[in-house]
C-alpha cells in the first residue's frame, strides 16, 4: 500500500469487467464517503493504484470503470495526522538538541511546563522520563494496571504513566515499594529503560557477554562508576549509538539526564 497517505481498506473486490462496485451499506456508517475510491493491486510495483470512481451517497454505491481483471478494493484515503512544530522560548536557536526537542514536542512526547518553557538543560525526574518513554512508545492506558510502589499513588499526575510502564516491564523501582518518582533520572537508568523499550518494540539487540561489555565500556575514563547492574544497559545503549560519551572521555553514568539528552536519545528509538 502506498504510504504518502494512510488507506483504510473497506472491501476487497475481484469484479468482472463491469462498471459498478457495490460496497456494503455498513461501510458508509464508519467512513468519510467523500474520501472513498476504488483501487487495483499493481502486481509489477506491489502497490495499490487508484482508479477513482463516483460515490452515490443516496444509493450507497461506488461506480468506476474497470478495464482488466485484477485484485480490486474500495479504500478511504486518510491523511496522516499533522505534526505540530512546537518550539519553546527558552530553547536557543543554536542549541545542540533543538531539532530533537522540537521533533519530540511535535509528536506530543515532550510538552513542556505550564509557563511554556522546556528547560532543555535541566535534569528530568524519573517520573518525567517514564512519561516521555510511555508517550514515545504510544502505549495506551492499561485498564486495571497498578503498581506496588507506595510512593506512586492514584491521583498523582504520573500514576497512569508509571503504571503503564510497569505493566510493560519498562521500568524498575529501587525496591518493590519504592520508585522515587521525583528523583533525578541518571544516565545509566535511562540507558536501561531505553534498552527495555527496544526489546518491547521487537528490535533485536545484540546480547553482550562480560568481555564485550568490558570492551565497549573500557575507553571511558569513568566507567568504573557504572553500577554492576547497569553495565549491560550502558554498553548496549552505546553499542546501539543511542548514548555517547563526553569530549573529556567520560560517560558520566551517575549524572542526571537532561531534557535535551532525553529527547536526543528517545528520538533514536522512534
As a whole number, mean pLDDT of residues 22-51 equals 68
Total residues found in the chain within this entry: 270
Domain boundaries, the chain: 6-78, 98-267
| Residues 89 and 116: beta-carbon distance below 8 Å | yes
Which pLDDT belongs to residue 113?
93
DSSP code of residue 28:
H
Percent of the chain with pLDDT strictly greater than 90: 60
Q: Which residue has the higher pLDDT, 162 or 79?
A: 162
Query: What does the DSSP assignment read for 220-268?
Result: STTGGGS-GGGHHHHHHHHHTTS----TTS---TTSBPBHHHHHHHHHT
| Weakest mean pLDDT among 4-8, 171-175, 248-252 | 4-8
Residue 4 binned pLDDT confidence (cut-offs 50, 70, 90): very low
Which pLDDT belongs to residue 8?
52
Q: How many CB atoms lie within 10 A of CB 113?
A: 11
Query: What does the DSSP assignment read for 177-220?
Result: S---TTSBPBHHHHHHHHHHHHHHTT-------HHHHHHHHTTS
Q: Which residue has the higher pLDDT, 240 or 142?
A: 240
Cα–Cα distance for residue pair 113/242, rounded to 1 Å:
26
As a whole number, mean pLDDT of residues 134-151 equals 82
Which pLDDT belongs to residue 204?
83
> Is 0.95 surpassed by the pTM of this model?
no
Which pLDDT belongs to residue 97?
97
Task: Give per-residue pLDDT as tens, 100-138.
Answer: 999 999 999 999 999 999 999 999 999 999 999 999 998
Residue 10 binned pLDDT confidence (cut-offs 50, 70, 90): very low
Cα–Cα distance for residue pair 158/247, rounded to 1 Å:
35
The backbone torsions φ and ψ at residue 101, rounded to the nearest 5 degrees and listed phi first, read -65, -45
Task: Give per-residue pLDDT as tens, 227-270.
Answer: 999 999 999 999 999 999 999 999 999 999 999 999 999 999 98
Task: Give per-residue pLDDT as tens, 70-102.
Answer: 788 888 766 555 555 568 999 999 999 999 999
Amino acid at each position: 500500500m502506498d504510504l504518502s497517505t494512510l488507506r483504510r481498506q473497506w472491501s476487497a473486490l475481484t469484479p468482472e469487467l463491469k462498471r459498478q462496485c457495490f460496497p456494503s451499506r455498513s461501510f458508509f456508517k464508519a467512513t468519510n464517503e467523500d474520501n472513498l475510491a476504488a483501487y487495483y493491486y499493481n502486481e509489477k510495483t506491489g502497490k495499490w493504484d487508484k482508479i477513482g470512481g463516483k460515490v452515490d451517497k443516496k444509493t450507497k454505491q461506488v461506480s468506476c470503470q474497470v478495464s482488466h481483471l485484477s485484485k480490486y478494493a474500495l479504500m478511504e484515503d486518510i491523511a496522516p495526522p499533522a505534526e505540530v512544530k512546537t518550539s519553546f522560548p527558552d530553547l536557543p536557536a543554536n542549541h545542540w538538541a533543538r531539532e530533537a526537542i522540537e521533533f519530540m514536542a511535535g509528536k506530543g512526547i515532550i510538552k513542556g511546563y505550564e509557563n511554556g518553557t522546556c528547560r532543555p538543560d535541566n535534569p528530568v525526574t524519573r517520573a518525567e522520563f517514564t512519561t516521555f518513554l510511555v508517550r514515545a512508545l504510544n502505549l495506551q492506558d492499561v485498564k486495571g494496571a497498578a503498581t506496588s510502589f507506595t510512593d506512586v499513588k492514584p491521583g498523582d499526575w504520573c500514576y497512569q504513566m508509571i503504571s503503564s510502564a510497569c505493566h510493560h516491564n519498562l521500568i524498575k523501582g529501587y525496591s518493590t515499594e519504592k520508585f522515587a518518582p521525583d528523583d533525578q533520572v541518571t544516565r545509566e537508568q535511562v540507558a536501561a529503560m531505553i534498552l527495555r523499550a527496544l526489546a518491547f518494540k521487537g528490535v533485536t539487540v545484540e546480547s553482550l557477554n562480560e568481555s564485550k561489555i568490558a570492551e565497549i565500556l573500557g575507553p571511558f575514563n569513568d566507567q568504573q562508576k557504572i553500577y554492576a547492574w547497569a553495565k549491560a544497559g550502558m554498553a548496549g545503549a552505546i553499542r546501539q549509538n543511542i548514548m555517547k560519551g563526553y569530549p573529556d572521555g567520560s560517560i558520566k553514568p551517575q549524572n542526571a539526564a537532561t531534557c535535551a539528552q532525553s529527547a536526543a536519545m528517545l528520538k533514536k528509538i522512534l
